[in-house]
């Protein structure tokens, strides 16, 4: 019996040692969250994101403004190629390139004017009622609404309806080039799962889901066993020494 208790004491002690090494490492790292910037370090591994139930909808289409210049919307993020422009956009309604050096973007019923490098020039909220799309007509920016088409002047200070509209250039979404698609899909994973959360879940046992409660209970029982078996083995050894 003594042999079996000693054997289980060693095996469970080894298991407990591995567990407490993990607790010690995770606890040490969490104590230095700010210095190590754990909140700013994000996990992009697909398996880990799936384990946490975080689903990413891959981006495949976008607006082609010109060769090698694409505008893409994913969730609330707006990208010019793989450059993040804004992360609060709920709906991208359309975009056009005008005067060969500016980009007009209609999103959330707001008109954004940008340079080709993605720098914001102006943000216009005074627009015709319920704009649905944006295009180019007679080299000028035009908005499509439920009431018809509206055209603006060069300074975007005035909109007027037009009745006869022919050959309006309304961009349609096309399939993104693979390099841009891959970069955007990779960027979409950022900000969803940081290292601090994983360490906190590991330290508390929540990383095992609802099983984590039982894991922590099991480790508590192991501690009680080690304390009891260790004490029993020590008493047996002391008794053996006194007998001698």
What pLDDT tens digit does each residue of the chain (244 aa) get?
Answer: 555 666 766 777 777 777 788 888 888 899 988 888 888 888 888 888 888 888 877 888 888 988 889 999 887 888 998 888 888 889 999 999 988 889 999 999 999 999 999 999 999 998 988 999 998 887 788 898 888 889 888 888 888 888 766 667 778 888 888 888 888 888 777 777 888 999 988 888 888 777 777 777 777 787 787 777 777 667 767 676 666 5
Q: Which residues contact 209 (CB under 8 A, 6 or more apart)?
A: none
Given a contact cutoff of 8 angstroms between Cβ atoms, the answer to whether 136 and 96 are in contact is yes
Q: Looking at the chain, how many residues does it have?
A: 244
Long-range pairs for 7-10: beta carbons < 8 A, 24 or more residues apart: 8/225, 8/229, 9/225, 9/226, 9/229, 9/230, 9/233
Which tokens belong to 145? 């609404």
Q: What is the CA radius of gyration of the chain?
A: 31
Q: What is the pTM of this model?
A: 0.61
Classify 235 as helix, strand or coil. Answer: helix
Phi, psi (degrees; rounded to nearest 5) at 104: -110, 125
């Amino acid at each position: 019996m003594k042999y079996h208790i000693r054997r289980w004491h060693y095996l469970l002690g080894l298991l407990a040692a591995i567990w407490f090494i993990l607790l010690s490492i995770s606890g040490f790292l969490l104590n230095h969250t700010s210095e190590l910037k754990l909140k700013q370090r994000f996990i992009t591994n697909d398996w880990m994101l799936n384990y946490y139930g975080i689903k990413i909808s891959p981006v495949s289409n976008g607006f082609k403004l010109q060769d090698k210049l694409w505008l893409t919307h994913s969730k609330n993020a707006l990208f010019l190629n793989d450059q993040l422009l804004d992360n609060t956009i709920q709906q991208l309604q359309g975009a056009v390139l005008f005067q060969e050096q500016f980009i007009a973007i209609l999103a959330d019923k707001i008109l954004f004017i940008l340079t080709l490098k993605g720098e914001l020039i102006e943000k216009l909220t005074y627009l015709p009622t319920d704009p649905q799309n944006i295009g180019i007509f007679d080299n000028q920016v035009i908005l499509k609404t439920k009431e018809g088409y509206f055209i603006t002047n060069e300074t975007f200070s005035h909109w007027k309806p037009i009745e006869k509209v022919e050959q309006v250039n309304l961009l349609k979404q096309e399939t993104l080039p693979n390099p841009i698609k891959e970069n955007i899909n990779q960027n979409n994973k950022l900000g969803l799962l940081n290292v601090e959360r994983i360490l906190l879940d590991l330290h508390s046992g929540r990383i095992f889901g609802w099983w984590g409660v039982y894991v922590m209970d099991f480790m508590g029982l192991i501690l009680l066993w080690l304390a009891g078996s260790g004490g029993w083995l020590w008493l047996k050894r002391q008794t053996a020494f006194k007998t001698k």
